[in-house]
Amino acid sequence: MGHLRYLTAGESHGPGLTVIVEGLPFGVPLEAHDINPDLSRRQGGYGRGGRMKIERDLAEIRSGVRHGITLGSPITLLIENRDWANWGEKMSVEPIDAEIPPVTKPRPGHADLAGMIKYGTNDLRNILERSSARETTARVAAGAIARKFLSELGIQIRSRTARIGSVPDEPELDPSKPSTWPWDAVEASPVRAITPNQAEAMVEEIDSARENGTTLGGIFEVVAWNVPVGLGSHVHWDRKLDAKLTQAIVSINAVKGCRDRSSLRKRWRARS
């Protein structure tokens, strides 16, 4: 087996998303039901917008698996955009006769402005359709394949929300035994908190933030166990595991924020 690699594709309101995962060995059990729960988890979350209800994301395996077992060949996943019917003209692959009014107002903190200048387009839709949280759906699907493969080797990966706003983390978790943490409670919680108390406090803080027209930051924790010692390497900068994980995380649009927004705003004002 070589190393795993993958490409994701698909616009936010295009026909759908595609991901090809190359490098998985022969013989791993894999079915759509190994992937779809992760897609559902991505769509959960207290206070998520309306689109999440439109789309019940489902992955269709189109290659690389036969009779429920991987073939060692590239795995294709298709995920339909269920709202596509409403976007056929605006997002038509083919040229159309109609005039579509361009989207022209770049949002701060997004790729909009840089993209417009780089591509020389006056229609933001040409940028925002790909620079979109929807793209992470394809990455979640690819990740579900990796997670399934790792589970065959006994490696488990779980995640939880450790903090939202001012709600503190649960102090009683034994960090030496993450496998004993109440992960079912996390999965059942609308905010992925590890106790009902924490969940309740988080929901309250979200409600209050929404009333005040603001948003909240937070901390999530991803835990893996049964991981062999020495993954990654200390010998060359681009093989270091922590640096690679950080790249993957920082590449998610919504994961970044600014600790001191007022300072950012001040800086932006100064620039204009």
Nearest distance in Å: CB 44, its own copies: 22
**What whole-number distance in Å separates Cα of residue 244 and Cα of residue 241?**
5
Nearest distance in Å: CB 216, its own copies: 19
**Do the Cβ atoms of 158 and 178 come closer than 8 Å?**
yes
Site string for its own copies, 115-144 (x = CB under 8 A): x-xxxxx---xxx-xxx---x---x-----
Query: Considering the rule CB under 8 A, would residue 86 count as an interface residue with its own copies?
Result: no
Cα dist. 28→38, 92, 108, 229, 268 in Å? Answer: 18, 37, 44, 23, 51
Query: Considering the rule CB under 8 A, would residue 198 count as an interface residue with its own copies?
Result: no
**What whole-number distance in Å separates Cα of residue 194 and Cα of residue 199?**
7
Query: Considering the rule CB under 8 A, would residue 167 count as an interface residue with its own copies?
Result: no
In the region spanning residues 201 to 240, those forming contacts with its own copies, defined by CB under 8 A, are 229-230, 233-240
Kindly tell me which of 210 and 261 has the beta carbon lying closer to its own copies: 261
In the region spanning residues 94 to 113, those forming contacts with its own copies, defined by CB under 8 A, are 94-96, 100, 111, 113
Site string for its own copies, 4-23 (x = CB under 8 A): -xxxxxxx--xxxxx-x-x-
Q: What DSSP character marks residue 237?
A: G
Query: Considering the rule CB under 8 A, would residue 114 count as an interface residue with its own copies?
Result: yes
Query: Considering the rule CB under 8 A, would residue 194 count as an interface residue with its own copies?
Result: no
Q: Which residues lie closer than 8 Å to 16 by C-beta, 6 or more apart?
A: 10, 78, 79, 80, 81, 84
**Do the Cβ atoms of 15 and 33 come closer than 8 Å?**
no
Query: Considering the rule CB under 8 A, would residue 31 count as an interface residue with its own copies?
Result: yes
**What whole-number distance in Å separates Cα of residue 29 and Cα of residue 148?**
8
